[in-house]
Structure 1
Amino acid sequence: MIELTGHTLTVEEAKKVIYDKEKVTLSPVGLLKVNQSRDAVERIVKEQRIVYGINTGFGKFSDVLIDQEHVEELQLNLIHSHACGVGDHFPEKVSRAMLLLRANALLKGYSGVRPAVIETLIALLNKSIHPVIPQQGSLGASGDLAPLSHLALALMGEGEVFYKGEIQPTLPVLSKEDIMPITLQAKEGLALINGTQAMTAMGLINYIEAEQLAYQSEMIAAITIEGLQGIMDAFDEDIHIVRGYPQQIETAQRIRNHLDGSLLTTSQGELRVQDAYSLRCIPQVHGASWQALDYVKEKLEIEMNAATDNPLIFDNGKKVISGGNFHGQPIALAMDFMKIAIAELANISERRVERLVNPQLNDLPPFLSPEPGLQSGAMIMQYCAASLVSENKTLAHPASVDSIPSSANQEDHVSMGTIGARHAYQILQNARRVLAVELICGLQAVEFRGPEKMAGATHRFYTAARKQVPSITKDRVFSKDIEKTQLWLQDMNWQDFNSNKKITQ
């Protein structure tokens, strides 16, 4: 059971909730603050104080006062008018993450919602009822207004939800699970949608999957090193210590651990003096991507525990401030950084694929073919990898450098962070397929060399991978192999293979 406090949620805890379906409970201390904040909102309504979002319009309509008898209607209209997301829906795991993160943010006690709102979010989470939320339509400032409005619809019994493997109308599902839809009261609609939880949830999923892929990329690279009889001197600890980047040092250490005891690696001067950069510079390139991922994790854990509503309520309502914590710039920049980092893991992987299949660059059968000429072998798999990395270069263009004014120029700078997060997810899927191609080619290369000569760690991975993709004995539809391998990489429990976790400095 994970207890939400509004302040202490970690990536590791979120992973347990999102992927392992661990149940969530709410901190009593947090609920006390929520009650105090809600009391403040109700006093404001009763006293008819003019406060943005409670008894005014929104955005450019912030100067329009709303009569007390229309305050609830104001919140309902807000959700209905803002629920204009379009396109494919977010993956279900992202929707689940959004429920978790929105509940955690509201539990901080600065948003003025009733406990019932947060409790309903958690009820959906614990019952695995996940709102269907379109991916497109958020500018990433004024919060993720459109996506979070679709989340809010589910709390009201409207829209659609994922439930037991199907998309179903919300109200019957809530009824089946004895969950009462909520009627939004003063400020609650605004509190639900004024936040960065769509981009942060997508970013959280990106990080969790990118971390696993980064570890896997090192194991796959180690198998390629064996397939190409790579030189181990380039991974000597002294080289990396004198440069000083912890992530580079750690990557080199993991490569050494993966290849400990291998009879397929060589020393400098034994077969050649130097390897190409795509082998020799693995610690420098992969290590730099780890630096970016560490940055992303730091920003995510801050944002996951941040108050991103507007306005925010302090001192029991004595101070209500309209600010800009909904602006997604910190996550937008982090997602753009992540895009480049993951794209680079794919770029260097594709170059290693080229070295595995190009007969001018190795002593293996051309294109790893069992019958060169008659059988094309892995020739077009390299084409596929090249196409994917080229697509990634387009997707890696930063979303955060763009801004389009909205709400009659009241909201004149926006982050586009949700676009960045979505593109990062696309890059991640492409990168996993590129690494699947490298793995298939690496397996074939070490098979020519003799798998019995592999290191213990790489041989275990080789054995498991061979259950997914058999040896290339003749040409076949390799698309199926690539897809099966990438799904295996996505779904595997990496701890079954990872005996050398990334060191925490």
Structure 2
Amino acid sequence: MKSIPEKHFTLSDFEEVIFKGKKVKLQDAVIKRIEENHAFLKNFSSNKLIYGINTGFGPMAQYKVSEENLLQLQYNLIRSHSSGSGKLMEPMLVKSLMMARLGSIMQGYSGVHPQVVEVLQELINKDVYPCIYEHGGVGASGDLVQLAHLGLVLIGEGEVIYEDKVQPTEEVFKRLNITPLSIHVREGLAIINGTSAMTGVGMVNLIQAKKLLHWSLLLSAITNEVVEAYDDHFSHELNVVKRHFGQNKVSEILRDLLKGSKLIRSREEHLYDAEKTDREIFTDKVQEYYSLRCITQILGPIYDTIRHAEETVVNEVNSVNDNPVIDHENKNVFHGGNFHGDYISLEMDKLKIAVTRLAMLSERQLNYLLNEKLNQKFPPFANLGVLGLNFGMQGMQFPATSTVAENQTLSFPMYVHSIPNNNDNQDIVSMGCNGALITKKVIDNSFEVLTIQAGTLLQVIDYANFGDKLAPVSKKMYKKLRELFPKFVEDVAPYKKLKAVKTFLENTDPFVEVKSESI
């Protein structure tokens, strides 16, 4: 069981809980802080007009709610906003959403009863996933609709996904001995008024984007190996004079990945030798195509984008993002807009643009490997059979190309798509959850593209008999991938093997797999 830090989550905390099945446990200090904050609000709110406690919501806030209806008000809010549509969110996204809501509430500024975080902890640890729909809030007064569906389950209503089936919440709670949440003061508003849907999806996106980047670096390194590229384009000396952190980090990683390769060539050895260069025309290219030579300049800004996005999204996870903010230390309640999702919306747009660029690089490297007129080394479409009769990777290039094209269309930013609503109370909104979910689609697509590049590399390595010449890291991953995608000469339907490779890429960080300390 993983003990939650008193007030701070990291990306690795999310990865351990969501992908590795670790349990969470709230520290006593967290519960104590939430209790103190809740007690302050109960006392402070007497004889005061406080939004969302004794008023209506949004443009209805000018209407005061009578004392006898205060608890019913919170139930009404949850039920009325449980209006989501479209597809259900994947269970891992829902678990991440619950983790993100826990991260915000455990800061101790939401005024809720400790039962809220206790039930959230139970749902996370027992793998009970509220049915939350993709289409909902506009990401400004928080992810209202998505989080209302979370609230509906917390009070024991609606449906959950449990043991891979949609089931009534009431039945699952009885079976697992989970006590539904009771409303005390403002639990309804505190649950739904925040950025936790977009932020939860954003955390999963970051975990997967980092895996994608690591696979892109590894596959780019192997691609340079099989075409016997020169080593100076990823050298320290060339890259250090360009003062970007990401570019220099990428070049360092490439050098580490390619240690021990017998295929990478030295320019000094091949092109700076007078005897070898005493001719008018060279069959070998003096410089490689950009998709091979400019990897540090292309993946460098992607590295930096992911790094900055992680800082921002983790900050949001550990922020108070509801309204009003209940500050028991300063003995006051502050009204504002911490629920607004602009930080996440903008980072998700930047992330999906960066990931689309990564997929574009993969597709160009793939095209180079498949086009014998470009590489002048391998048969058309990495075809190991009879040319004309067999087709090699030809049929697999089409989904890579079409998927990259879809990514390019999906990469138009959501951040600039504000539509006023809620009687114009929400007159500028973030659309952050939409942006995060579209980014998830772009990331999923990109794994498909890298899968096809990986399969092509396996085929050309076997064609050229390069297996024993690869760098140790490349050789290790070549063997693992060949178990999932065996060498083929005769044409076979590849879709099931491609799916197995994609699943492996999605669930494996190659840098962890090769256990390289310097990467």
TM-score, structure 1 as length reference? 0.96
Partner of 1:338: 351
CA deviations 1:137-188 (Å, max 9, x no partner) are 1201100000101111111111111222322211111111111112223211
Picking from 315, 324, 334, the partner of 2:337 is: 324
Aligned residues: 502
Out of 359, 365, 369, the position equivalent to 2:379 is: 365
The answer on 1:226 being equivalent to 2:239 is: no
How far, CA to CA, are the matches of 2:50 and 2:177 in structure 1?
35
Q: 3-state DSSP class of the match of 2:373?
A: coil
2:102 aligned residue:
103
For the Cα contact (< 8 Å) 1:48–1:68, is it kept in 2? no
| Greater Cα shift, 36-45 or 430-439 | 36-45
Q: CA deviation at 1:28?
A: 2.3
Shift of 1:116: 1.0
Q: Which aligned pairs between 1:388-427 and structure 2 lie closer than 5 A?
A: 388-427=403-442
Q: What does residue 513 of structure 2 align with?
A: 497
* Counterparts in 2 of 1:274 and 1:286: CA distance versus 1, 3 Å: same
Q: Which letter does structure 2 place at the counterpart of 1:169?
A: P
Kindly provide the amino acid, as one letter, of the partner of residue 347 in structure 1: M
Structure 1 contact 308–325 (Cα < 8 Å) conserved:
yes
CA shift, 1:346, in A, is 0.3
1:267, 1:472 → 2: CA distance?
33
SS at match of 2:303: helix
Q: For structure 2, list consecutive stretches of 5 or more residues without a partner in the other structure.
A: 272-283
Q: Which amino acid aligns with 1:390?
A: A
For 2:356 and 2:514, the matched residues in 1 are separated by: 23
Check whether the contact 1:37–1:317 (CA below 8 A) recurs between aligned residues: no
Is 1:243 matched up with 2:242?
A: yes
2:42 alignment partner in structure 1: 42
Using the TM superposition, name which of 363-372 and 53-62 deviates more: 363-372
**2:315 match:** 302
In structure 1, distance between residues paired with 2:86 and 2:504: 28
Cα deviation, residue 65, structure 1: 0.3
Task: Give the Cα separation in 1 of the matches to 2:512 and 2:322.
Answer: 41
| Aligned pair partner of 1:280 in 293, 296, 301 | 293
User: Which residue identity does 1:322 align to in structure 2?
Assistant: H
Report the Cα offset of residue 264 of structure 1: 2.2
Aligned to 2:396: 381
Cα distance in 2 for partners of 1:401, 1:324 equals 19
CA apart distance, 1:105:
1.1
1:477 is aligned to: 493
1:465 aligns to 2:481 (yes or no):
yes
1:266: Cα distance to partner?
2.3
CA distance in 2, matches of 1:100, 1:501: 30
Comparing 282-291 with 314-323, which one deviates more in the overlay?
Answer: 314-323
Tell me the residue number matched to 1:211.
Answer: 210
Q: What letter corresponds to residue 345 of structure 1 in structure 2?
A: L
Change (3 A) 1:58 1:5: farther
Task: Report the AA paired with residue 20 of structure 2.
Answer: D
* Contact 2:476-2:514 within 8 A present in 1 as well: no
Partner SS for 1:360: helix
Question: In structure 1, what is the Cα distance between the partners aligned to 2:10 and 2:175?
Answer: 32
Name the amino acid aligned to 1:357.
Answer: L
CA distance in 1, matches of 2:308, 2:373: 39
SS state at 1:467 partner: helix
**2:53 matched to 1:54?**
yes
Which of 445, 450, 463 is equivalent to 1:435?
450
Q: Which residue of 2 aligns with 1:182?
A: 181
* Corresponding residue SS for 1:234: helix
Report the residue type matching 1:230 in the other structure.
A
Alpha-carbon RMSD: 1.6
SS at match of 2:86: strand
Quick one: which amino acid aligns to residue 494 of structure 1? P
Q: Aligned partners of 1:382, 1:492: CA distance in 2, in Å?
A: 23
Residues 123-202 of structure 1: matches in 2 within 5 Å? 123-202=122-201
Structure 1: how far apart are the matches of 2:299 and 2:432?
25
Specify the SS of the correspondent of 1:243: coil
Task: State which of 502, 507, 515 in structure 2 corresponds to 1:486.
Answer: 502
- Separation in structure 2 between the aligned mates of residue 104 and residue 455 of structure 1, nearest angstrom: 42
Change (3 A) 1:317 1:60: farther
Please report how far the alpha carbon of residue 72 of structure 1 lies from its aligned counterpart in structure 2 after TM superposition.
0.9
Contact 2:8 2:103 in 1 (8 A): no
1:244-291 CA distances to partner (integer Å, 9 max, x unpaired)?
A: 222211211222222222222223356331100101111111111010
Kept after mapping to 2: 8 A contact 1:11/1:204: yes
1:348-367 CA deviation, whole Å, 9 max, x = no partner?
A: 11000110010110221111
2:424 and 2:348 map into 1 onto residues whose CA distance is 26
TM-score calculated relative to the size of structure 2: 0.94
Separation (CA, whole Å) in 2 of partners of 1:114 and 1:284:
51
Question: What residue number does 1:15 align with?
Answer: 15
Give 3-state SS (helix, strand or coil) of 1:109's partner. Answer: coil
CA deviation string 1:402-443 (max 9, x = no partner): 101111011101001111100110000111110011111111
Q: Deviation at 1:502?
A: 7.2
Counterpart contact for 2:7–2:318, Cα < 8 Å = yes
Contact 1:235 1:256 in 2 (8 A): yes
Opposite residue 445 of structure 1, the aligned amino acid is V
User: Are the counterparts in 1 of residues 215 and 509 from structure 2 also a CA contact under 8 Å?
Assistant: no
